[in-house]
Amino acid sequence: MYARKELLVGGQDSQLVNGSEAKKNSLIAPASRTDANGRAASNGVLLAIPDDEFRLLRPNLEFVELPVHKVLYEAGEGIEYAFFLNSGMTSLVIATSDGRSVEIGVVGKEGFIGGPLAVGLHRSPYRAVMQIPGDGFRVKSEVLERTFNATSNLRALLNRCTQILGMQVAQLAACNRLHEIGPRLARWLLMTQDRIESNVLPITHDFLAQMLGSGRPTVSLAAGILQKAGIIEYARGIVRILKRKGLEEAACECYAIISQRFSGCA
C-alpha cells in the first residue's frame, strides 16, 4: 500500500483545484478517498494508487448502482467503461451459440472490470455481468487510457490485475474440466463470500447451474449434500454459509490456489 496524504477535491481533468474553487471544496481525510460528490471508495485499486494519481483520476469517477444481471459489457463488443466495484461481484462468462454458459472468472472490490484496456485492447472475449448486486465507480475507457502516461502506478496495477485474472481463468478452466460438481460448488461459494464479505449469498440454483456449467438437478443435489451436512442453508434464492471451515474442507484444491495466489492485485 502507498502512504496517504491529504488531497484537494478534484477539479477539471488533471488540474488541481485552487483559489476560489478550493474554498468551495473540502479536504479528503488522509485515510479515505471519495469521488467529487463525496461518495467513499472502497475498491482496492482506487485505495492502493498514490495520492497524485488518484487526484488525476478522481474527477472522472462516476458513481453507479449495479443491480443483479446488469451487463457491464458483452463479448466481442467495445468496452465503453472500466468499472471499480465498491461492493457486489461481477462474473466473467463465456456463452455458446446453443445458449449454454459457464463462468470463467470473478471480480469484486479487489480488482477492476475492463482488463483488456490495460493492454491496449478494446474488446473482450467474455461477457461481464453483475451476479451479486452492488455499486462502484466507472470511468470512460478513453479517459482511463489518456491518464496512463501520467499514472504509471495505476497502469502497472491494472496490468497486474489483468495478469492475475488470466491466471484465475486458467485455474478455473482446469477446475471446470477436472473436478466434480460438489467441490466446485464449495469453491464457488467460498470465492463469492470472499468478495462480498457476507455469509448470506443471494443466488438461485438456476444461477449456480449456469455459472458452473452444469444442470440444475446436479447442482441441487450437490447443494443438498452441503445442506444436509450443516455447512450451508438454502431457502428462496438465498444461500447462507453456516460453517466456513466445513465449506473449505469440501472445496477442491482450486480454492486454496486461487485465494493464495490469484485473488487480489493491490
pLDDT tens-digit profile of 190-218?
999 999 999 999 988 787 887 787 888 88
Summarised one tens digit per residue, pLDDT across range 230-250 is 999 988 789 999 999 999 999
For residue 80, pLDDT over 60 is answered with: yes
251/28: higher pLDDT: 251
Torsion of CA 71, 192, 139, 121, to 10 degrees: -70
Residues in the chain: 266
The CA distance from 87 to 96, in Å, is 29
**Per-domain boundaries in the chain:** 7-60, 62-174, 180-261
Looking at residues 123-145, what average pLDDT do you find?
A: 95
Percent of the chain with pLDDT over 70: 87
The residue behind cell 499514472 is 151
CA-only gyration radius of the chain, Å: 20
| Residue among 163, 213, 164, 165 at smallest CA distance from 188 | 213
Cell digits for 131? Answer: 451476479
pLDDT attached to residue 96 = 83
DSSP 117: G
Say which CATH topology domain 180-261 has.
Arc Repressor Mutant, subunit A (1.10.10)
In the CATH hierarchy, which top-level class contains the domain 62-174?
mainly beta
pLDDT attached to residue 31 = 47
